[in-house]
Structure 1
Amino acid sequence: MNNSTNKSSWKWDQGPIGRIVKTAYITLRREVEEELRQVGLTHTQWNALGILHYFPGITSSELEQILMIERPSVTSLMNGLEKKKLIIRKNYSKDARYKQIFLTEEGKKIAMETQHFTHLVEDRIKDGLSAEEFAMLKSLLIKTVNLFEKK
């Protein structure tokens, strides 16, 4: 950014669609992170707990794909959650090279207690959109993701 351009004159909503989507994502994420700070979780830790709640026993490789993060990040994430005693890793019965990941009782409790954070953000969006607009937004975002996944 040069000296003649200041942040207040920057029009994010007039930029490319990718910038608009990124700005929307960051804005939504910040809302959730504000709530997560109160329970001592990062956004990624919270996402992992939610995934493990619905898919107990998945492997690090599967979690890597779902979260769309690199292997070293998953390892660090799992180490952090294990240190907080929110997960346990057990040897996979079908292949000793893999470990399955499960929530501990405390992990299950926190996953359940924080599940509503998603709804808080969605409710704020719904407050500003009609039901039709919300459905259209969701549909268009899904369609956009699908366009790129088919490549």
Structure 2
Amino acid sequence: MTDKAVNTAQENWDQRLGFLMHDVSRLRRKVFDEVMKPEGITRSQWWVMAHLSRHDGMSQSDLADVLDLGRAALGGLVDRLEALGYVRRGADEQDRRTKLVLLTPEGRAMIERMRVKSDVMSEAILQGLSAGQRHQLADMLSLVKRNLLAFDTSRA
């Protein structure tokens, strides 16, 4: 194989890996959307709730930043989740102007249903991988995530 062919193969491998990671993520979200549809919750709503399940009581502006959403877009999502009874807004005791987003008991129950459905789905999509391979996959993806978070864009 010539140097040019090796370089082309390497470039194509990098591109294929990027597309594969993107497609796996996209397909997983799409399948989970279908799994959650009977619950009457949209992708954007379950994404907000999933984040709140790990960081309940965040300020609305911090939540918008973390989820990379505009404040108005997040406000609309929180309005709809509040109307469904899954979240409530509360004032921050240190700064009464800041609105916190908190899960309600109904929201926590929905999170539990989401977890159960996610576990069933994960078991199906990881079929054929041993427990060790599953842990290895999670470790490798965690490393890629850490590297992405630390990536210095000025190097590119």
| 1:86 aligned residue | 86
Letter of the 1:93 counterpart = E
For 1:108, what is the secondary structure of its paired residue? helix
Contact 1:85 1:106 in 2 (8 A): yes
Q: Find the aligned partners of 1:114 and 1:96 in 2 and give their Cα distance.
A: 32
Displacement, 1:145? 1.2
Displacement, 1:14? 9.5
Displacement, 1:43? 2.0
Q: Find the aligned partners of 1:98 and 1:63 in 2 and give their Cα distance.
A: 12
1:29 matches 2:26: no
- Counting matched residue pairs gives 139
| 1:19 aligned residue | 19
| 2:41 aligned residue | 41
For 1:133, what is the secondary structure of its paired residue? helix
1:142 matches 2:142: yes
When the two structures are superposed, what TM-score results if normalisation uses the length of structure 1? 0.79
Displacement, 1:141? 1.1
Identify unmatched segments of 5+ residues in structure 2: 1-12, 152-156
Displacement, 1:147? 0.9
For 2:113, what is the secondary structure of its paired residue? helix
| 1:121 aligned residue | 121
Pick which of 106-115 and 13-22 moved more. 13-22
Q: Spell out, residue by residue over 1:1-58, the C-alpha distance to the aligned partner (whole angstroms, 9 max, x if none).
A: xxxxxxxxxxxx9953221111101111122111110000012212322332343321
Q: Find the aligned partners of 2:126 and 2:66 in 1 and give their Cα distance.
A: 26
Q: Spell out, residue by residue over 1:58-84, the C-alpha distance to the aligned partner (whole angstroms, 9 max, x if none).
A: 111332244343333322211211122
Q: Find the aligned partners of 2:77 and 2:46 in 1 and give their Cα distance.
A: 10
Contact 1:50 1:115 in 2 (8 A): no
> Relative to 1, partners in 2 of residues 1:14 and 1:58: Cα closer, same or farther, differing over 3 Å?
closer
For 1:80, what is the secondary structure of its paired residue? helix
What does 1:70-109 align with in structure 2 at a 5 Å threshold? Answer: 70-109=70-109
For 2:100, what is the secondary structure of its paired residue? strand
RMSD: 2.2
For 1:132, what is the secondary structure of its paired residue? helix
Greater helix share, 1 or 2?
2
Greater C-alpha radius of gyration: 2
Identify unmatched segments of 5+ residues in structure 1: 1-12
Q: Find the aligned partners of 1:128 and 1:71 in 2 and give their Cα distance.
A: 42
| 1:64 aligned residue | 64
Contact 1:87 1:104 in 2 (8 A): yes
For 1:101, what is the secondary structure of its paired residue? strand
